[in-house]
């Protein structure tokens, strides 16, 4: 019975998916067009916006998957205006809702917001709007906890539904339902009741999380399995992706950042992301001492000074903002020419979002990540306690570690897309050095050595961090922890890559311990290490290609106007004036 239901759902979704929903011949099409122009003052839709709008106006459940900044809000705001009744929008972040209500109010679209901290009067007005047949309110924003915990709200919503005035339920950031997403929120679980409670009310879920795993889970939790999924591409052809080996000392890191800002990105605007408040302050100070104009931005700053920093960056009196991920909301600067990650992101999803703030104007921009093994543990000791977070982090690490496969393809795979081989256009460090040959190393014997070091340490009652493990392997540090063999015949930095490779492949695992001040990550043998005794055991690792990247020469300018898949429009088509890239040169530096 279950499988029958499944196949019916599959059939349903296949036939739904074969309709494109992008047409202009629906009964509402004229209204949609005029509302877009006259009320939203927008000339044309971006890719898939019209499909999303038509499909939800047709009354079915749908999930809309688009990158951040692509314009998901319009997909429920416009239908809300076109049809009578109220659209309830569930969104996790109050600040985002406030922004939206403000912008709707400016367009003379009556909208309200209800959170657990709203003033009593406002709450009453909102609650009454649900009951009042004559209300002019078109959109009502609520937080999921409000919905889950307020009986009165639910009662009024049922009244609204009974009166036939509940037009649609939009669930923003809908991936928050799923534990497998990168941003699980327990209150989103309760939203599963909506599809049953409000029969015939279309649910529209919106997210920038595209993995099939999460989307399936979301459908299950919301009880809308097999619903239509409308997805726009995640490819950003104008972004150049690059990994740089991160030096061990902060001073050396500063030198890299200084050069990038002074020469490669001279006169351009950008963002430098790091993972702690202290790092953001230290880096900003360091760069200022080196004569650069940068601002600092993190969650511990007053809202007021945050706005000031943001403004100064906007008007270009700051070249860059050194920020934690707290800097994200409301960045609508189109000409961000570089996003540098001083520390890796918590997941590929986060990375895509953070780096995606570059090049919104469709001109060439660069996304540069400074990576070294030690940073994995800085991040893992912050995220390990949540379900699935380590896997997400390791996804990010795999991306940094893989220097032989097009970065864009790696991102495409992550988002379950296929952008095709030709699509990179040499816009990543791997593709811009196609001729550098790859080298593979065999890890069978190294696994045995590493395993023996860990066993020996355990006998000594000693725990090893990745650094200590590396020391012992390279015959450094306390003699008692070293192994009996020879040290590896490659550099320590390749050694770091090997340990990392074994970690993300499950041959090693992290083991977290707590002190009063911090969490320490130690390394233990992982489940896959059991197979190293098998006679047929083979494990190979491709070495990263190290490609030269001129920190001290201007980045290539945007000679061609890239077709921006995000805007779906190409202002002038491609100019063919391709300047020869002066930036990338093949150089193999596998010491
Ligand atoms: P998302 O939720 O997908 O991250 P938003 O809905 O916040 O994106 O929209 C991002 C920005 O794009 C907003 O400023 C919005 O007004 C603008 N926008 C949306 N659709 C269009 C369009 N078709 N043309 C121009 N701008 C648009
Ligand atoms: Mg949004
Ligand atoms: Zn590539």
Give residue-wise pLDDT tens across range 183-231.
Answer: 788 889 889 999 999 999 999 999 988 888 899 999 999 999 999 999 9
What's the confidence (pLDDT) of residue 234? Answer: 87
Ligand 1 atom with least separation from CA of 75: 6
Ligand 1 atom with least separation from CA of 40: 16
pLDDT in tens, 143-184: 998 887 888 999 999 999 999 999 999 999 999 999 877 778
Q: Residue 485 carries which DSSP code?
A: S
Ligand 1 atom with least separation from CA of 73: 6
Q: How far is the CA of 173 from the centre of ligand 2 (A)?
A: 7
Q: How far is the CA of 366 from the centre of ligand 3 (A)?
A: 13
> CA–CA distance from 173 to each of 209, 218, 222, 577 (Å)?
8, 11, 13, 41
Pocket test residue of 45, 63, 73 for ligand 1, highest count of atoms within 8 A of CB: 73
Q: φ, ψ for residue 261 (rounded to 5)?
A: -70, -40
Q: How far is the CA of 434 from the centre of ligand 3 (A)?
A: 9
Quick one: 510 exposed, middle or buried, by C-beta within 10 A (0-12, 13-18, 19+)? buried
Sign of the Cα torsion 379, 384, 389, 393 reads positive
For the chain, 591 residues long, the average pLDDT of each consecutive 10-residue run is 54 58 94 97 93 97 91 97 97 89 96 88 92 95 88 94 97 91 84 94 94 92 96 91 96 97 97 96 98 96 93 96 89 92 95 93 95 96 85 96 93 81 84 82 97 97 97 96 94 96 98 92 97 95 86 79 40 34 35 33
Q: How far is the CA of 202 from the centre of ligand 1 (A)?
A: 22
Whole-structure pTM value: 0.81
Angle between helices 348-355 and 407-414 (to 10 degrees): 120
Could you tell me if the CB of 556 is within 6 A of ligand 1?
Answer: no
Answer for the pair 57, 104: CB distance below 8 angstroms, yes or no: no
Tokens for 206, please give them.
């919106």
> CA–CA distance from 94 to each of 97, 218, 254 (Å)?
5, 22, 36
What's the confidence (pLDDT) of residue 560? Answer: 45
Strand partners, 521: 512
Q: φ, ψ for residue 105 (rounded to 5)?
A: -60, -40
Tokens for 220, please give them.
């299950």
Q: How far is the CA of 180 from the centre of ligand 3 (A)?
A: 28
Tokens for 422, please give them.
């030709």
Answer for the pair 319, 270: CB distance below 8 angstroms, yes or no: yes
| Closest protein CA for atom 19 of ligand 1 | 71
Pocket test residue of 71, 100, 176, 231 for ligand 1, highest count of atoms within 8 A of CB: 71
Q: Residue 282 carries which DSSP code?
A: H
Could you give the CA distance from residue 120 to residue 440 in angstroms, rounded to a whole number?
Answer: 66
What's the confidence (pLDDT) of residue 5? Answer: 55
| Closest protein CA for atom 20 of ligand 1 | 71
Neighbouring residues of 97: CB distance < 8 A, sequence distance ≥ 6: 89, 91, 113, 115, 141, 143
| Closest protein CA for atom 5 of ligand 1 | 71
* ipTM > 0.95, yes or no: yes
Q: What angle do CA 90, 93, 95 make, to 5 degrees?
A: 120
Q: How far is the CA of 63 from the centre of ligand 1 (A)?
A: 17
Could you give the CA distance from residue 434 to residue 429 in angstroms, rounded to a whole number?
Answer: 9
């Amino acid at each position: 019975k279950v499988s029958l239901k499944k196949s019916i759902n599959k059939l349903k979704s296949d036939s739904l998916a074969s309709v494109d929903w992008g047409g202009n011949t629906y009964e509402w099409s004229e209204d949609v067009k005029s509302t877009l122009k006259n009320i939203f003052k927008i000339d044309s839709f971006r890719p898939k916006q019209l499909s999303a709008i038509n499909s939800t106006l047709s009354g079915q459940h749908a999930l809309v998957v688009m990158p951040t900044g692509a314009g998901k809000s319009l997909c429920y705001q416009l239908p809300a205006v076109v049809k009578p009744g109220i659209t309830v929008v569930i969104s996790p972040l109050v600040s985002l809702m406030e922004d939206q209500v403000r912008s709707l109010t400016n367009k003379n679209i009556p909208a309200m917001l209800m959170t657990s901290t709203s003033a009593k009067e406002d709450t009453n007005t909102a609650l009454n709007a649900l009951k009042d047949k004559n209300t002019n309110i078109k959109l009502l924003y609520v937080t999921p906890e409000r919905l889950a915990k307020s009986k009165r709200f639910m009662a009024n919503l049922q009244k609204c539904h009974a009166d036939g005035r509940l037009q649609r339920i939009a669930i923003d950031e809908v991936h928050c339902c799923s534990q497998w997403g990168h941003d699980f929120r327990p209150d989103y679980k309760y939203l599963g009741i909506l599809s049953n409670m409000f029969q015939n009310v279309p649910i529209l879920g919106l997210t920038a999380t595209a993995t099939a795993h999460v989307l399936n889970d979301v459908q299950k939790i919301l009880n809308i399995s097999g619903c239509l999924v409308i997805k726009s591409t995640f490819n950003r052809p104008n972004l150049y992706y690059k990994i740089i080996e991160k030096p061990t000392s902060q001073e050396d890191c500063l030198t890299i950042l200084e050069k990038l800002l002074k020469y490669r990105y001279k006169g351009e605007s950008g963002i430098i992301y790091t993972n702690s408040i202290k790092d953001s302050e230290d880096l900003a100070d360091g760069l200022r001492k080196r004569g650069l104009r940068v601002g600092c931005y993190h969650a511990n700053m007053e809202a007021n000074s945050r706005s000031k920093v943001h403004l100064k960056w906007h008007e270009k009196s700051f070249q860059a903002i050194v920020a934690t991920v707290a800097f994200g909301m409301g960045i609508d600067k189109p000409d961000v020419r570089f996003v540098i990650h001083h520390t890796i992101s918590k997941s590929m999803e986060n990375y895509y979002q953070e780096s995606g703030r570059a090049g919104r104007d469709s001109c060439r921009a660069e996304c540069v990540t400074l990576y070294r093994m030690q940073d994995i543990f800085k991040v893992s000791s912050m995220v390990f306690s949540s379900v699935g977070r380590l896997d997400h982090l390791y996804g990010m690490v795999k991306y940094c570690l893989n220097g032989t496969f097009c970065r864009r393809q790696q991102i495409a795979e992550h988002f379950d897309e296929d952008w095709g081989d030709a699509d990179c256009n040499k816009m990543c460090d791997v593709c811009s050095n196609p001729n550098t040959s790859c080298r593979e190393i065999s890890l069978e014997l190294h696994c045995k050595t590493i395993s023996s070091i860990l066993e020996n340490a355990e006998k000594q009652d000693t725990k090893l961090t990745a650094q200590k493990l590396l020391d012992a392997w390279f015959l450094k540090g306390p003699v008692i922890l070293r192994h009996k063999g020879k040290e590896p015949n490659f550099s320590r930095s390749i050694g770091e890559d090997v340990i990392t490779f074994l970690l993300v492949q499950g041959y090693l695992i992290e083991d977290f311990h707590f002190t009063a001040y911090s969490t320490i990550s130690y390394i233990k043998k992982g489940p896959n290490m059991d197979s190293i005794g098998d006679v047929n055991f083979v494990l190979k690792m491709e070495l990263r290609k190290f490609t030269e990247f001129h920190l001290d020469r201007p980045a290539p300018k945007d000679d061609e106007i890239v077709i921006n898949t995000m805007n779906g429009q190409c202002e002038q088509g491609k100019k063919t004036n391709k300047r020869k890239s002066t930036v990338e040169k093949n150089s193999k530096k596998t010491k």
